[in-house]
C-alpha cells in the first residue's frame, strides 16, 4: 500500500503526533485446525508477490501435490473504532485512515454505485467546510491577479463534484454550523442555569483532536466539554435525517462525504455515537481533507483556477414557507463573526450581551499570542464581571487551559498525581490564589481548538508550497521525493537555512484567514448579517421537522420549549457523549 | 590518548541509604546541600561543611532528610533551581514534581533550618516516563523530556504556578536528557535517536528547534555545557564523548572526541575545576556502565592556527567506583571553593563524594 | 485473544539438562538486595560460570504466546551464549523474522538473568544477526537499562513477564 502523498505531507503538521505505534491487539479469526496438536505442526509462512501471507503446512504433503497445502492467512484488520478506543496513539493512525477514509475510497464508492434507477443506488452528497474553501481560495488566489472569493471556489467545486464526480448535491457546512451555534448557546444557558449535572466552564466540542485528547488523557475535563454536535455531525444529521426525508431516501441510501480542514474529523465521523444501527450507516460516511480534495481535482485534471458560469451569483435560499415536501435551498456561506474556527466564543458573547439589560463593556487580553485571548464582559454600570471567556488554540495553550480549569473547578487533574499533593499545599495555593478580583472569577466558556491558528491552519489544509520542499524525509524518517508522490513542489526560491517554527508559516495562515473572511476586515468587528434572522427561520423549520413537537405553531425561536418527547429527539439528534479511554492493560502489547 | 594520572580520585564519603538504584545526584548551587533520587521513589538530602577554612580538608557530610515524593514510580531525575530554594523531580510516572521547603513561622532562622520539603505542584503532560528535568540559568524556565519523544518548556510563575511555553516534538525517539546553556536561554536535548537538538524561543512565535547535531552512533545519554557556554559535551552509548563548539550564534561543530569507557557512558559533568594553565577550559568528568569515573582536563591548544580543536588530558581515573555496579550520574560541585568535589550515584543505591587531589598527596 | 506472530512454530526436542547444578540457580526470584546480603563481591565467593549454567537459567522460560519453552522453540541455545570477563552475551533467535514478541522474549531473558546472577555480571542481549527484521531496534531497546527499568514498573507488562518466568528453572 502506498501512502497518499498529500496525506503524509500535510500530516507532518498535525498538532498532536502519535507517540507510540499502534498497540491494538488483533483478534485471530481462523479457527484452530482440528486434530492438530499444538506443537507438532510443521508450517512455514510464505509471502506472495501481492504481499499476502500464506501458511504452508508440510504435514499435508502427499504424492498428488508436491506443494504443501497453502492457506491464505487473514490480514489483521483494525477499524477506526479500534483506534478511538485505544490509547496507543493520540490521534491518527495513518494507514487505517487511508484505507477507510480516503479520496480513493470516495472514488471507489462512486464508481461502483449502481445507476440511480437501481434500489441500491446511494445518493451521493458532499459537504464542504468553509475553512477548506478558504484554504483552496488562498491557494488559487496566490497565483491569480485578483483574489478569488469563497463563493467562486464553492461554485467551481460544485461544478467539479456534480459534473466530474457525479455528486447529486454539494453544500457548504455553514448552515449546519449555524444550527450547531444555536444549540451551543442553548446548552450554555442550560449549564449557566445549573440544569442537570453539567457545569461551567463550558468547553468547545467542535475540535475532534481536543475531544480525543481529553478522552485519553484528561477525563476530568469531559464533563465540561459541550455536548452539542460539531457542524460536521450536524450536517450529517441534516442530510441523513432531514433532507433524506424530503428526498425520500433512507439514511443508508445516501452516501455523505465531508471535506474538512482536519484529519481528526475522520475519527470523529467514525465514533460509534454517530453510527445508525437501524440502517447500518453513519451520518457522515467518509471524511476527506482539503488536501485530498485537491488531489482528487488534480487526478481528474480539474483546474480550480478556471472560472465557471455564474460563479459570483449567490443562490436564493428557501428560508421560510414550511412546505415539507419542497426541497429547501440551503443558505450558503453564512458568516458568523468572531473567529475562523467557528465563532463559538463570540456567539456566546453576543448572546450574553443580548440577554442582559445593562450595557456591557468587553475587554480583550492576549496571553502571549493571539492564539490565547481572554474576553471579559463587565457591566458598565456596576463594574461586575458577567462573563469571562477565552479562545485557546494549539496544544501548548490547551495544556494551560486544562491546568487552569482544573485548578478553578477543583477537579483532580490528569492521572491523579495532583491529588497526591499534601492537603496543606493545596490550602496554601488557595490562600495565595485569592488575590486579584478578576482572577477570582473562573472561565464561563473556552473555545478550545487543538491546532495553533485554529481550523484555518488545520492538519488537512493545503500547505504553502515552499514548506513542502524543505522536508526531504517523511514522518518515519524515510527519504521522500514529494514531487513523485504527487505533491506539487515549487522549485527555486531561497530557503531559510534555519528551520522555521514547527507550526509553519504564520504568513500563510494569515492568507487563509483573509480568504475565509473574504472582503470583510480580518476579523470583522461584529456585524450581524442581515440574513441571520431569516436563517434562524429555516433553522426553526429544521427543528420542527426533526423533533416533531406537538405544538409546532408555538415554535418561534430555537429555544422555544417543546414537549418532553420532542426534547428527547432534539438531544438525540443534536447532542453527543464522551467517554474516558482506559490506558493499555494488555501486557503482550505494551510498548516500552 | 594522553594519559597523565597526576591526580587521584579520593573517596570523601560513601552515602548509602537508597533502597534501590540511585539514578542522579544534584548539588544545590546556593547552599551546602546535595540531593539524590532513586528508583525507591525518594529524594535524599545531605548537608556538608568543612571544618575551618582550610581548603585542603575535605568537607564532612550528614544526611538531613529523606523526602518521600508524590511519585508513584522511579524518580529518575532531579534538578535544583538556581536560587537553591526549589527543586524539580522527573519520574517514570510521567510527571514532574516541584518541591519547596516547608514555610516555617520563624523563617530565616539560619541555624535550626527545618529540612522538611514538600511537593508544591505536579506538572503533568508527558505521556510516558520523564527522563530528565532542568532549570534555565535564571530559573525562569523549566524543561523536561520523556520517552514520548517530546521536550516541554514551562515558565516558572510565582506561587508554584507554571505555564506551558512549548511542547517540542522534534526527536524521533525517547529523549534522554535536557540541558540549559549556562547563561543564555538555549536548551539542548539528547536522544535515543542518536541526535542532539537545540531550541530557542522565537518571541513572535513559539519555541522551536534551531539545530540538530548528528555524529554519535548510538543513544546520547547525557549533555554538559562548558562553564563558558562555548562548548557542549555529549556522552553516548557508542562509548565516546563528543565536544561540540559553538562556531556562531546558532551553529555548533564537532571538534573533539574523548574515549575511555568500555560500556555505555551515562553521565558527563563539566565545571571550571582546579586546573592552573591559562588555556585551561575546565574539568570534565564522565562515568557509566563500566563503573569507571574519568576526569579530563580540557584546554585550548597553544597555537592560534588550530583554534577549532581542543586538547584533553585524562588527569584522574578510578575503576569500580561503586564496586561492581554501574554508575549512573556524576556531578561537579558548582559552589566556589569546592570545585574539586564531585558526587556519583550508582546502581548499588549509594551516593559517593569524591575529591580530585594531586597524586603526590 | 491477541495477534499471534507465528501461529504454528516448529517445536524441537529438548536436550539433556546439564548435570551440574548451578550455584546461581538458588532461587527463582533472587533480587539484588538478597544477593547483596550474601556479599557476592567478596572475592572468595566469586564463582566462575559457563555457558551451560547460563543456559540452564533461561532454557525453560516460556514463550509469551505458545505453551512451549524458549529451548523447545530453539529461541535460545547454549551455543548462543558467550561468557567473557564478567560479561555474558546471550543471543536469541526469534521464530519468525517479523516476530513482535522479540522484545518481550529478550526482556524475559534479561530479567531472569538479572534476578539469578550476582550483580558483577554485565549482560548483553541480542537477537541472532539476520534473524529479525528490526534487529537493531530490538537490540537497542533490550540493552537500554533505563527502558528496561521503566518496563519493569509497568504492571501489565510485568504480569505478562512473570507468566513467562513462572516456568523458568522448572525441571519437569
Radius of gyration of chain B, Cα coordinates, nearest whole angstrom: 19
Average pLDDT over residues A233-256: 96
| Cβ neighbourhood burial of A450 (10 Å; 0-12, 13-18, 19+) | buried
Least confident of A321-330, B161-170, B335-344, C154-163: A321-330
Q: What is the CATH number of the domain that holds B247?
A: 2.130.10.10
- Residue C137 to residues A455, A477, B218, C140, C141: CA-CA distances in angstroms? 37, 14, 11, 5, 6
Nearest-angstrom CA–CA distance, A343 and A181:
8
Q: Using the predicted structure, report yes or no on whether residue A422 has a pLDDT greater than 90.
A: no
Predicted confidence (pLDDT) per residue in B233-245, tens digit:
999 999 999 999 9
Least confident of A336-350, B93-107, C17-31: C17-31
Residue B74 contacts C where some CB pair is shorter than 8 Å: yes
Closest CA to A389 of A422, A350, A435: A350
Q: Using the predicted structure, report yes or no on whether residue C84 has a pLDDT greater than 50.
A: yes
Query: Does residue B108 lie within any of the structural domains?
Result: no
Query: Does residue C148 lie within any of the structural domains?
Result: yes
- At A49 the pLDDT is 54
Average pLDDT over residues A208-218: 90
Query: Does residue C172 lie within any of the structural domains?
Result: no
Predicted confidence (pLDDT) per residue in B118-129, tens digit:
999 999 999 999
Q: What is the CATH number of the domain that holds C138?
A: 3.30.300.130
Give B233→chain A minimum CA distance, Å. 23
pLDDT, mean over chain B: 92
- At B45 the pLDDT is 97
* Boundaries of domain holding C77: 32-166
Nearest-angstrom CA–CA distance, A62 and A45:
19
Average pLDDT over residues B1-18: 85
Predicted confidence (pLDDT) per residue in B294-304, tens digit:
999 999 887 66
Confidence of residue A520 (pLDDT cuts 50, 70, 90): low
Strands (E), A279-412: 281-282, 286-289, 360-367, 369-379, 385-393
CB contacts of B147 in chain C (<8 Å) are 147, 150
- Residue C98 to residues A550, B5, C6, C93: CA-CA distances in angstroms? 63, 50, 9, 12
More reliable by pLDDT, B267 or A492: B267
More reliable by pLDDT, B144 or C35: B144
**Cβ pair B125:A399 closer than 8 A:** yes
- Model ipTM value: 0.93
CB contacts of A55 in chain C (<8 Å) are 7-8
**Cβ pair B165:A396 closer than 8 A:** yes
More reliable by pLDDT, A565 or A32: A565
- At B54 the pLDDT is 75
Task: Residue window 7-26, chain C: list those with CB within 8 Å of chain A.
Answer: 7-8, 10-11
- At C23 the pLDDT is 55
Cβ pair B98, B121 in contact under 8 A: yes
- At A363 the pLDDT is 94
Confidence of residue A411 (pLDDT cuts 50, 70, 90): confident
**B interface test, pick of A16, A420, A431 with most B CB neighbours within 10 Å:** A420
Residue B192 contacts C where some CB pair is shorter than 8 Å: yes
- At B102 the pLDDT is 82
CB contacts of A26 in chain C (<8 Å) are 2-3
Predicted confidence (pLDDT) per residue in A132-142, tens digit:
999 999 999 98
pLDDT, mean over chain C: 82
Query: Does residue B106 lie within any of the structural domains?
Result: no
Of C68, C147, C156, the CB nearest to A39: C68
Q: In total, how many domains does chain B have? A: 1
More reliable by pLDDT, A59 or A531: A531
Confidence of residue C171 (pLDDT cuts 50, 70, 90): low
Cβ pair B85, B156 in contact under 8 A: no
Residue A452 contacts B where some CB pair is shorter than 8 Å: yes
- At B78 the pLDDT is 98
- At A494 the pLDDT is 33
Nearest-angstrom CA–CA distance, A245 and A237:
11
Average pLDDT over residues A471-484: 40
Q: Using the predicted structure, report yes or no on whether residue C114 has a pLDDT greater than 90.
A: yes
* Boundaries of domain holding B122: 7-50+60-100+117-358
- At A534 the pLDDT is 79
| Crossing angle (nearest 10°) for helices A130-142 and A506-516 | 110
Q: Using the predicted structure, report yes or no on whether residue B328 has a pLDDT greater than 90.
A: yes
Q: Using the predicted structure, report yes or no on whether residue A470 has a pLDDT greater than 70.
A: no
Closest CA to A389 of A378, A379, A376, A405: A376
Confidence of residue A376 (pLDDT cuts 50, 70, 90): very high
- At A172 the pLDDT is 96
CB contacts of C96 in chain A (<8 Å) are 45
% pLDDT > 70, chain A: 67
Predicted confidence (pLDDT) per residue in B52-97, tens digit:
777 778 999 999 999 999 999 999 999 999 999 999 999 999 999 9
Give A27→chain C minimum CA distance, Å. 6
Nearest-angstrom CA–CA distance, A289 and A260:
5
- At B141 the pLDDT is 98
- At A5 the pLDDT is 29
Q: In total, how many domains does chain C have? A: 1
Query: Does residue C7 lie within any of the structural domains?
Result: no
Confidence of residue A99 (pLDDT cuts 50, 70, 90): low
Confidence of residue A467 (pLDDT cuts 50, 70, 90): very low
Confidence of residue A296 (pLDDT cuts 50, 70, 90): very high
Q: Using the predicted structure, report yes or no on whether residue A290 has a pLDDT greater than 60.
A: yes
Three-state SS across A119-183?
CCCCEEEEEECHHHHHHHHHHHHHCCCCCCCHHHHHHHHHHHHHHHHCCCEEEECHHHHHHHHHH
Most confident by average pLDDT, A324-338, A414-428, B157-171, B217-231: B217-231
Domains in chain A, start-ordered, CATH in brackets? 1-26+81-113+120-198+224-333+458-592 (3.40.50.1780), 43-72 (no CATH)
Average pLDDT over residues A324-329: 78
Residue C112 contacts A where some CB pair is shorter than 8 Å: no
CB contacts of B264 in chain C (<8 Å) are 145
CB atoms within 10 A of CB A406: 19
Cβ pair C100, C3 in contact under 8 A: yes
Least confident of B50-59, B219-228, C34-43, C78-87: C34-43
**Cβ pair C147:B174 closer than 8 A:** yes
Predicted confidence (pLDDT) per residue in A544-565, tens digit:
999 999 988 888 889 899 999 9
Q: Using the predicted structure, report yes or no on whether residue A2 has a pLDDT greater than 50.
A: no
3-state secondary structure of A342: coil
Total-model pTM = 0.83
- At A587 the pLDDT is 75
Q: Using the predicted structure, report yes or no on whether residue A34 has a pLDDT greater than 50.
A: no
Give C35→chain B minimum CA distance, Å. 11
- At A97 the pLDDT is 54
Give C141→chain A minimum CA distance, Å. 8
Q: What is the secondary structure of C116-150 as a DSSP string?
A: HS-TT-EEEEEEPTTS-TTHHHHHHHHT-HHHHHH
Query: Does residue C97 lie within any of the structural domains?
Result: yes
More reliable by pLDDT, A462 or C169: A462
Q: Using the predicted structure, report yes or no on whether residue C133 has a pLDDT greater than 50.
A: yes
- At A527 the pLDDT is 45
End-to-end C-alpha distance for chain C, whole angstroms? 28
Closest CA to B121 of A438, A428, A409, A392: A428
Amino acid at each position: 500500500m502506498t501512502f497518499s502523498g498529500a496525506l503524509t505531507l500535510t500530516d507532518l503538521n498535525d498538532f498532536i503526533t502519535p507517540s507510540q505505534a499502534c498497540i491494538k491487539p488483533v483478534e485471530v479469526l481462523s479457527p484452530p485446525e482440528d486434530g492438530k496438536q499444538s506443537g507438532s505442526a510443521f508450517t512455514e509462512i510464505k509471502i506472495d508477490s501481492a504481499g499476502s501471507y500464506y501458511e504452508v503446512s508440510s504435514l499435508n504433503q502427499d504424492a498428488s501435490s508436491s506443494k504443501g497445502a497453502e492457506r491464505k492467512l487473514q490480514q489483521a484488520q483494525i477499524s477506526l473504532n479500534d483506534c478511538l478506543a485505544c490509547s496507543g496513539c493520540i490521534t491518527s493512525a495513518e494507514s487505517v485512515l487511508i484505507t477507510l477514509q480516503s479520496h480513493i475510497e470516495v472514488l471507489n464508492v462512486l464508481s461502483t454505485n449502481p445507476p440511480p434507477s437501481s434500489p441500491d443506488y446511494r445518493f451521493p452528497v458532499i459537504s464542504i467546510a468553509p475553512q477548506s474553501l478558504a484554504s483552496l481560495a488562498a491557494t488559487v488566489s496566490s497565483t491569480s491577479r485578483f483574489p478569488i472569493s469563497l463563493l467562486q471556489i464553492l461554485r467551481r467545486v460544485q461544478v467539479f463534484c456534480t459534473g466530474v464526480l457525479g455528486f447529486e448535491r454539494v453544500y457548504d457546512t455553514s448552515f449546519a454550523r449555524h444550527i450547531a451555534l444555536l444549540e451551543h448557546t442553548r446548552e450554555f444557558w442550560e449549564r449557566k442555569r445549573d440544569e442537570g449535572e453539567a457545569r461551567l466552564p463550558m468547553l468547545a466540542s467542535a475540535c475532534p483532536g481536543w475531544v480525543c485528547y481529553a478522552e485519553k488523557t484528561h477525563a476530568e475535563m469531559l464533563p465540561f466539554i459541550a455536548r452539542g454536535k460539531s457542524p460536521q455531525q450536524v450536517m450529517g444529521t441534516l442530510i441523513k435525517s432531514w433532507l433524506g426525508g424530503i428526498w425520500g431516501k433512507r439514511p443508508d441510501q445516501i452516501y455523505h462525504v465531508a471535506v474538512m480542514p482536519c484529519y481528526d474529523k475522520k475519527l470523529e465521523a467514525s465514533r460509534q455515537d454517530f453510527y445508525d444501527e437501524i440502517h447500518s450507516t453513519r451520518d457522515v460516511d467518509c471524511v476527506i481533507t482539503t488536501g485530498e480534495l485537491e488531489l482528487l481535482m488534480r487526478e481528474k485534471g480539474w483546474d480550480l483556477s478556471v472560472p465557471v458560469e455564474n460563479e459570483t451569483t449567490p443562490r436564493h435560499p428557501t428560508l421560510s414557507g414550511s412546505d415539507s415536501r419542497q426541497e429547501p435551498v440551503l443558505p450558503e456561506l453564512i458568516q458568523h463573526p468572531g473567529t475562523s474556527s467557528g465563532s463559538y466564543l463570540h456567539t456566546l458573547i453576543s448572546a450574553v450581551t443580548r440577554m442582559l439589560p445593562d450595557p456591557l463593556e468587553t475587554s480583550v487580553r492576549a496571553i502571549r499570542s493571539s492564539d490565547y485571548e481572554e474576553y471579559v464582559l463587565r457591566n458598565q454600570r456596576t463594574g461586575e464581571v458577567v462573563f469571562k471567556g477565552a479562545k485557546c488554540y494549539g496544544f501548548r495553550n490547551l495544556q494551560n487551559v486544562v491546568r487552569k480549569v482544573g485548578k478553578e473547578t477543583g477537579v483532580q487533574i490528569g492521572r491523579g498525581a495532583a491529588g497526591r499533593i499534601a492537603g496543606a499545599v493545596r490550602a496554601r495555593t488557595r490562600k495565595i490564589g485569592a488575590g486579584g478580583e478578576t482572577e477570582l472569577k473562573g472561565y464561563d466558556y473556552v473555545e478550545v481548538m487543538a491546532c495553533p491558528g485554529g481550523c484555518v491552519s488545520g492538519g488537512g489544509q493545503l500547505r504553502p508550497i515552499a514548506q513542502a520542499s524543505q522536508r526531504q524525509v517523511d514522518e518515519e524518517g524515510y527519504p521522500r521525493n514529494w514531487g513523485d508522490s504527487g505533491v506539487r513542489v515549487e522549485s527555486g526560491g531561497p530557503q531559510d537555512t534555519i528551520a522555521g517554527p514547527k507550526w509553519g508559516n504564520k504568513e500563510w495562515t494569515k492568507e487563509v484567514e483573509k480568504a475565509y473572511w473574504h472582503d470583510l476586515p480580518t476579523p470583522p468587528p461584529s456585524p450581524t448579517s442581515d440574513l441571520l434572522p431569516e436563517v434562524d427561520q429555516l433553522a426553526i423549520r429544521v427543528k420542527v421537522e426533526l423533533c416533531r413537537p406537538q405544538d409546532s405553531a408555538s415554535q418561534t425561536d430555537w429555544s422555544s420549549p417543546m414537549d418532553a418527547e420532542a426534547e428527547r429527539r432534539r438531544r438525540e439528534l443534536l447532542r453527543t457523549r464522551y467517554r474516558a479511554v482506559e490506558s493499555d492493560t494488555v501486557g503482550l502489547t505494551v510498548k516500552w | 590518548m594522553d594519559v597523565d594520572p597526576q591526580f587521584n580520585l579520593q573517596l570523601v564519603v560513601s552515602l548509602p541509604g537508597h533502597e534501590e538504584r540511585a539514578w542522579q545526584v544534584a548539588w544545590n548551587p546556593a547552599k551546602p546541600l546535595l540531593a539524590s533520587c532513586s528508583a525507591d521513589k525518594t529524594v535524599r538530602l545531605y548537608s556538608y561543611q568543612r571544618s575551618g577554612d582550610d581548603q585542603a580538608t575535605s568537607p564532612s557530610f550528614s544526611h538531613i532528610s529523606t523526602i518521600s515524593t508524590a511519585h508513584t514510580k522511579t524518580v529518575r531525575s532531579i534538578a535544583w533551581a538556581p536560587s537553591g530554594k526549589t527543586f524539580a523531580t522527573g519520574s517514570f510516572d510521567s510527571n514532574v514534581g516541584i518541591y519547596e521547603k516547608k514555610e516555617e513561622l520563624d523563617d530565616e532562622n539560619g541555624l535550626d533550618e527545618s529540612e522538611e520539603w514538600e511537593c508544591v505542584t505536579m506538572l503533568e503532560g508527558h505521556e510516558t516516563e520523564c527522563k530528565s528535568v532542568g532549570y534555565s540559568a535564571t530559573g525562569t524556565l523549566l524543561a523536561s523530556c520523556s520517552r514520548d519523544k517530546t521536550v516541554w518548556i514551562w515558565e516558572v510563575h510565582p506561587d508554584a504556578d507554571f505555564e506551558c511555553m512549548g511542547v517540542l516534538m522534534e526527536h524521533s525517539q525517547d529523549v534522554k536528557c535536557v540541558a540549559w546553556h549556562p547563561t543564555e536561554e538555549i536548551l539542548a536535548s539528547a536522544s535515543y535517536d542518536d541526535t542532539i537538538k537545540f531550541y530557542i524561543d522565537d518571541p513572535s512565535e513559539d519555541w522551536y528547534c534551531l539545530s540538530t547535531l548528528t555524529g554519535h552512533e548510538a543513544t546520547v545519554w547525557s549533555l554538559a555545557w562548558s562553564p563558558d557556554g562555548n562548548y557542549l559535551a555529549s556522552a553516548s552509548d557508542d562509548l565516546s564523548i563528543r565536544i561540540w563548539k559553538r562556531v556562531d550564534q546558532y551553529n555548533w561543530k564537532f571538534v573533539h572526541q574523548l574515549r575511555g569507557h568500555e560500556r555505555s557512558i551515562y553521565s558527563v559533568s563539566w565545571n571550571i575545576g582546579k586546573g592552573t594553565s591559562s588555556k585551561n577550559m575546565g574539568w570534565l568528568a564522565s562515568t557509566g556502565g563500566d563503573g569507571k569515573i574519568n576526569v579530563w582536563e580540557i584546554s585550548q591548544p597553544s597555537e592560534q592556527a588550530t583554534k577549532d580543536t581542543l586538547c584533553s588530558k585524562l588527569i584522574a581515573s578510578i575503576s569500580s567506583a561503586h564496586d561492581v555496579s554501574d554508575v549512573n550520574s556524576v556531578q561537579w560541585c558548582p559552589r566556589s571553593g569546592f570545585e574539586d568535589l564531585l558526587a556519583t550515584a550508582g546502581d548499588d543505591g549509594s551516593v559517593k563524594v569524591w575529591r580530585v587531589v594531586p597524586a603526590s598527596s | 485473544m491477541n495477534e499471534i506472530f507465528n501461529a504454528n512454530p516448529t517445536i524441537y526436542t529438548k536436550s539433556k539438562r546439564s548435570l551440574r547444578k548451578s550455584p546461581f540457580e538458588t532461587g527463582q526470584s533472587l533480587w539484588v538486595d538478597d544477593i547483596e546480603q550474601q556479599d557476592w563481591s567478596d572475592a572468595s565467593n566469586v564463582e566462575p560460570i559457563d555457558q551451560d549454567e547460563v543456559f540452564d537459567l533461561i532454557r525453560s522460560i516460556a514463550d509469551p504466546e505458545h505453551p512451549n519453552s524458549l529451548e523447545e522453540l530453539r529461541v535460545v541455545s547454549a551455543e548462543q551464549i558467550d561468557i567473557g570477563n564478567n560479561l555474558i552475551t546471550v543471543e536469541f533467535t526469534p521464530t519468525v523474522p517479523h516476530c513482535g514478541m522479540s522484545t518481550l522474549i529478550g526482556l524475559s531473558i534479561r530479567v531472569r538473568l538479572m534476578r539469578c546472577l550476582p550483580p558483577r555480571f554485565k549482560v548483553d542481549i541480542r537477537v541472532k544477526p539476520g534473524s529479525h527484521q528490526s534487529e537493531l531496534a530490538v537490540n537497542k531497546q533490550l540493552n537500554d537499562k533505563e527502558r528496561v527499568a521503566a518496563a519493569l514498573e509497568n504492571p501489565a507488562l510485568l504480569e505478562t513477564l512473570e507468566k513467562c518466568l513462572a516456568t523458568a528453572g522448572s525441571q519437569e
